[in-house]
Structure 1
Amino acid sequence: MRTMKSVVLFLLFIKFNLLGADISYSYHFNTYKPTELFYNGEGYFYDIPDNCTRILNSFAESAMNFTRCSILHARPVKLCRECVNDYVQFFDTYQKLLHTEINGTTCTFMYLSHDRFEVVLSYYNNIDAIWNKGNCNGCFNWSTEIPQVSNSTKKFINMFNETVDCIKSNYYPSMNDTEEVCQKCSQSYIQLDEYYKSLSSDSIGVDSICMDIVDSMNTTRSIWSKTLNCCKLRRHPEIIFLCVTGVISFLPLLFYFVVRYCGPIRDLPNVLKQSRFKQTILRSADGRIN
């Protein structure tokens, strides 16, 4: 009887121990947050943390805002000045996505390097490439917390607006005469062109200048030379230059003819040339006589 009771108590002890182990295992399984996300082929076992989801939503919204702004200001190019706030927000949000860490896992791990699409990284690289391709950083002063339009950019924009206002106020398409606008706006245009050249650190003129300024200058040059045909004012100096160049190029030819036909003619002595064969015969004859 005692043996029977002992067996029953032993079995009950084992049962309660196993039950406690199951409860403990279930508790730890429900509260355990792994450092990596386990994928079961259809979805994640654990939901992505809310903080990472909020940052991702902010990243998507900032990418959408910059994309829309860049398209609307593609022509004439004002992308750098008009979309700088959207770009800064986009860049800052991406940095948060890279460095935010939750339970030992960064948000970057959840959204990057998991498949060949690389959607998040691709959007970042594309938008960053557009910004850098336009040298947009060159339009601003980045020493402050919020980027400010640089003094050189402000000066160019002011000079550009003055030139454009001068052309608009003096150009009358119905009269089909651009001489007046060319004369009145010549000084403004020349100053604008010279200042634009001074902004660049190379001979091409576009290496460190943001695209807003480059596009404004190219448009102004096209209007000035093609639409208004103001470059015709340079024709007289060019004709003088070409005439002087032609005269200078003709002087060596003239000098040659003078020396060749007008110089003193001298009689040159005739030079008698004897062949080696004749000289050999004469030497042989002289040897026989001697």
Structure 2
Amino acid sequence: MAPALVLLLHGALLGLCSGDSLFPSRHLVLQSGQEGRVLEDWRQPLSLKLMQEAEDLSLLGSRDLAELEPECRELLTAFANSSMKLTGCLVRSARPVRLCQNCFRQFREINEQLENITRAVGVRNFSDSSKCSSSLLMSDRLQIVLILSTFFNDTWEKANCANCLKNNSEGLSNNTVMFLALFNASLTCFEHNLQAQEDSNYTQVCKNCSVTYKNLNALYKRMQESKQEHDAEEQSHLCIDVEDAMNITRKLWSRTFNCSVPFSDTVSVVAVSSFILFLPVIFYLSSFLHSKQKKRILILPKRIQSSASLVNIQEKCH
């Protein structure tokens, strides 16, 4: 072994025995409670450690990546609470559909919260609210606040809830209140007569609830015609609550109870059906009589022609 290498190894062993590190720049100070941190710091590459230190410095120097201001966090918390209330109401009212009548207050509240966030956008002298709007709405690519707001608005428009509410969405319109009252009266009538009868042919339901059902159906038709007359085609639908309630009632009336033809109109229905059945007989009978009449008309001109030729011959003889 070369003398220089022997001297180097000897010096290294002496340094280890005395407790010195082989690399002075990475001196390890092992104290109680710090061993894990020092060893972990020792194992990390220098480039990764420098990147983490640079990221920490950027967090301290950038206001966009720092914590939100207290005013902004209050606005965000209020919007989160309103979103949670509206989402829960929409899910709970999904079946049977009661979105518009149960959730219009929560929908109005979340719009107010969004207005509180966006009302100062575009002002030259940036206030705290405009800083909050830029931080909460435009600071990242996802823009979760705007996505949630767009989802709620699209759902509300697809349900046509504005057609069930007053102009300022302060409550249900008069026609909607009247319709829901008739709808509840129809369901109550169905339930009462189902409990009263013993057989399963639903005759009592059809007989005793026909007036209530007719009034409900007539009101629905009037509301539908009025909407189609004043609004465009894409906005002519009634709100989803009214449409779903009418569909449920019609299915019960026609499919479940088999009350498509009211009992009071049985005589007129039988008369119309009998007339339709006798229409072919009347048609063939009239066709037969008309053909015989036509044959008689065709024979008459031949006689007239023969008499006319006889008169011409007599005139030639004279």
Q: TM-score when scaled to structure 2?
A: 0.62
Aligned residues: 229
Match of 2:42 in 1: none
Q: Give the drift of 1:198.
A: 1.2
Match of 2:161 in 1: 136
Does 2:299 align with 1:266?
yes
Tell me, yes or no, if the aligned pair for 1:98 and 1:106 is still in contact at 8 Å: no
Tell me, yes or no, if the aligned pair for 2:78 and 2:113 is still in contact at 8 Å: yes
The CA distance in 1 between the partners of 2:222 and 2:162, in whole Å, is: 18
Does 2:235 align with 1:202?
no
| Matched residue type, 1:218 | N
Shift of the 232–194 alpha-carbon distance from structure 1 to 2, 3 Å rule, reads: closer
| Matched residue type, 2:244 | D
1:44 aligns to what SS in structure 2? Answer: coil
The CA RMSD measured in Å over matched residues stands at 3.3
- Residues 141-174 of structure 1: per-residue CA shift (max 9 Å, x gap): 234xx71222222211221222111111111475
Match of 2:182 in 1: 159
Match of 2:51 in 1: none
- Residues 68-92 of structure 1: per-residue CA shift (max 9 Å, x gap): 1110111111111111221111110
The CA distance in 1 between the partners of 2:161 and 2:191, in whole Å, is: 28
2:142 aligns to what SS in structure 1? Answer: coil
Q: Give the drift of 1:238.
A: 4.2
1:76 aligned residue (91, 96, 120): 96
Match of 2:275 in 1: 244
Match of 1:287 in 2: none
Tell me, yes or no, if the aligned pair for 1:99 and 1:106 is still in contact at 8 Å: no
The alignment-based identity, stated in percent, is 25
The CA distance in 2 between the partners of 1:183 and 1:76, in whole Å, is: 27
Q: Give the drift of 1:237.
A: 4.0
Does 2:271 align with 1:214?
no
Structure 1: runs of 5+ lacking an equivalent: 1-37, 270-290
1:94 aligns to what SS in structure 2? Answer: helix
Match of 2:305 in 1: none
Match of 1:171 in 2: 194
The CA distance in 2 between the partners of 1:140 and 1:221, in whole Å, is: 24
Q: Give the drift of 1:58.
A: 0.9
| Matched residue type, 1:221 | R
2:260 aligns to what SS in structure 1? Answer: helix
1:51 aligned residue (66, 71, 83): 71
Tell me, yes or no, if the aligned pair for 1:49 and 1:102 is still in contact at 8 Å: no
